[in-house]
Amino acid sequence: MTHPAEKTAAAHLRAGAKMTGAQIIMQVIADEGVEAIFGYSGGAILPTYDAILAYNQERQADGGRQVPLIVPANEQGAGFMAAGYARASGRVGVCMVTSGPGATNTVTPVRDCAADSVPMVVICGQVPTAAIGSDAFQEAPVAAIMGAVAKHVFLVTDPARLEATVRTAFEIARTGRPGPVVVDVPKDVQNWTGVFAGSGRLEMPGYRARLAAQAAAQLDDTRADQLLQYLRESHRPLLYVGGGVINGEASAELLDFAQLHGIPVVTTLMGIGAIDTTHALSMRMLGMHGAAYANYAVEDCDLLIAVGARFDDRVAGSPKNFARGARRICHLDLDQAEINKVVAAHWSHVGLLPQALRKLCERSRAQKFKPDYSAWFAHLAALREKHAMNYNRASELVQPHYVIEEINRVTKGQAIISTGVGQHQMWAAQMFDFAKPRQWLTSGSMGTMGFGLPAAIGAQVANPGALVIDIDGDASIRMNIGELETATTYGLPVKVVVLNNFGDGMVQQWQKLFFKGRLSGSDKSLHKKDFVKAAQADGYEYAKRLDRKSDVPAVVAEFLAFKGPAFLEVIIDRDAGVYPMVGPGLGYDAMITGEFIPSRDRREETNVDPSSMF
């Protein structure tokens, strides 16, 4: 598919025009098909903010497409809005901030995007070129700081290279393994006047050679047949699917491969939605807080095929004990660095996932390979029935699981769900259904509290007609609670649910299990925040508190039916825990399933070295 920016200079209507650097930045952003810019202004980025306004005024006059500017409460919010936009759409999110604190406030979103392979371009203003290194007002060494956390960083000191640099930043962000790219632009470069070329990118032969190698890395017949032979010899195969399948736009091919061979699928936290969670082959999420039956399936499989997954510590806390019954482990991924990094693979392929999965299906169909895994399915069905997700359904207190179940009953797997980080994040991952990719937005690798609300706003901008719900916790939403006002300011109908247990729930759960109940720094019961009043102050016409179990169905229905932004605080059982749970560094045989999910191993170990916490 041709990208909007892939035009020749002759094709661009403005090629040859005189423009300032700021106008060039804005024109390239528009050429890239960007639908919104998320950012906060300041002195060093003012020329480009002025160019945004001028561009949109021109488009309003000539009937062209404008690029809305969404202004958050702070720059971290802008970064997470751009990330939410990117995660929900698959397109590059754009964040634009000023120098110094404006740039450093985006470090966390940049690292978050790098960790979860999310495409984002951050345009930072910088002090004038001559002042760099002089500790000028609002100067920060952006290239040095961001170089450690971004996919790539550019500092533009030659204005003649600005246009090509910005265009190249988008290319790097969205190609290969996606990630965040930072472009640091001094104020004098923004004010410079030159000729707009309308095309051109920087010379990056090494990077483009790697992209070409990835595209050319076809899975040949011999290698494909080897994996199919492993399937013939297998009685209990399992697909272990990560976020790479979603990022690589390989969900359709994955489903074809799984259905063709009848292989059940477990997903990582980031892989949720790669396959419809209600599909007969879906065994839902594995890992530290995965479904017990999913983890038992991993233990019992004799062939594990990892696709776009990286065997991280939340899945393979004890690498030597992971998938301990598997005779072979196969690994398909775009990134060579992930192969054999944590767990040794008996068979691997590095390349584009859709191509590799299509090749496997082609070879299988040509060979008329039709395996029979009916005994394995019967075993998994028994696991699913005996070790199903469960909670204290008899409690008179509001259980978070019940609230999520009720929201899920109404939304039927069609909503876009964003979360903060903590217990609420895991309950949402465990209990919600997702019909397709890019409906589940969460901070996976970084685990950044405060992610949920701004990411939901970005997702709503990317999908104006969708139902977008932020499932948050009282501690997590505090991190970026200023963005409540952003939703109402722009009339974005984001639905916000705060599951309030008056504390850092996940931290408290670990403290109860591993620190003899000493709740050091995690109790928020004495804090004075009235979330409903805060939401009302920020313009929410619908803002309610729910604290009675009997009211859950009616209030949830009313909340979801409200046409604009809506806020719901739910007072939940403070002792509700996230189970199952696999302690850090432990295998699935030491999984703690809690009071309401039967364990088959009965080794509810909590003897964990505190040095391996979180």
pLDDT digit string, tens, across residues 376-390: 999 999 999 999 999
Contacts of 420 (CB under 8 A, 6+ apart): 449, 450, 451, 452, 453, 470, 471, 472, 473, 476, 477, 479
255 and 332 in a single domain? The answer is: yes
Residue 447 lies in a domain: yes
Domain shared by 406 and 331, yes or no: no
Please give the pLDDT value at position 578.
96
Q: Sign of dihedral through CA atoms 300, 303, 309, 313?
A: positive
> Is residue 598 assigned to a domain?
no
Q: Is residue 248 part of a domain?
A: yes
On whether both 236 and 278 belong to a single domain, the answer is: yes
> What is the number of domains present in the chain?
3
Q: Is 506 a catalytic residue?
A: yes
Establish if 183 belongs to a structural domain.
Answer: yes
Given a contact cutoff of 8 angstroms between Cβ atoms, the answer to whether 502 and 523 are in contact is yes
Of the residues 35, 75, 139, 171, which is catalytic?
Answer: 75
Could you tell me if 327 and 411 lie in one domain? no
* 514 counts as catalytic: no
- Whether 103 and 249 share a structural domain: no
Do 362 and 455 share a structural domain?
no
**Do 406 and 294 lie in a common domain?**
no
Instruction: Name the active-site residue from 138, 218, 259, 336.
Output: 138
Domain boundary at 328, 358, 386, which? 386
Query: pLDDT (tens digit, 9 = 90+) per residue, 1-32?
Result: 445 544 444 579 999 999 999 999 999 999 99
DSSP states along 257-301? HHHHHT--EEE-STTTTSS-TTSTTEEEE-STTS-HHHHHHHHH-
Residue 201 and residue 250 in one domain? no
Residue 576 lies in a domain: no
**What's the rounded Cα separation, in Å, for the pair 182 and 96?**
10
Is residue 551 within 8 A of residue 398, CB to CB? The reply is no
pLDDT of 526: 86
Domain of 178, CATH number, reads: 3.40.50.970
Q: End of a domain among 171, 196, 214?
A: 214
- Point out the catalytic residue in the list 6, 137, 396, 412: 137
562 is catalytic: no
Pairing verdict, β 180-186 and 69-70:
unpaired
**Average pLDDT estimate for 160-183:** 98
Closest CA to 74 of 516, 454, 558: 454
Task: Report the residue count for the chain.
Answer: 614
**pLDDT band (50, 70, 90) for residue 611:** very low
Of 187, 359, 495, 524, which is the active-site residue? 187
130 and 204 both lie in a single domain? yes
Q: Are 550 and 433 part of one and the same domain?
A: yes
Residues 97 and 126 in one domain: yes
Residue 605 lies in a domain: no
- Across 287-312, average pLDDT: 98
Catalytic residue among 120, 283, 285, 506: 506
Residue 154, strand partner residues: 183
Peptide bond just before 186 cis, omega within 30 deg: no
**269 within some domain:** yes
- Cβ atoms 540, 488 nearer than 8 A: yes
> Which pTM value belongs to this model?
0.95
Q: Is 270 a catalytic residue?
A: no
Domain with 305 in it: 224-386
Q: How many Å apart are CA 70 and CA 558, to the nearest integer?
A: 28
Annotation says 138 is catalytic: yes
- Let me know whether 344 and 443 are in one domain: no
pLDDT of 612 above 80: no
Sheet containing 347-350: give its strands across.
282-285, 265-267, 237-241, 303-307, 328-333, 347-350
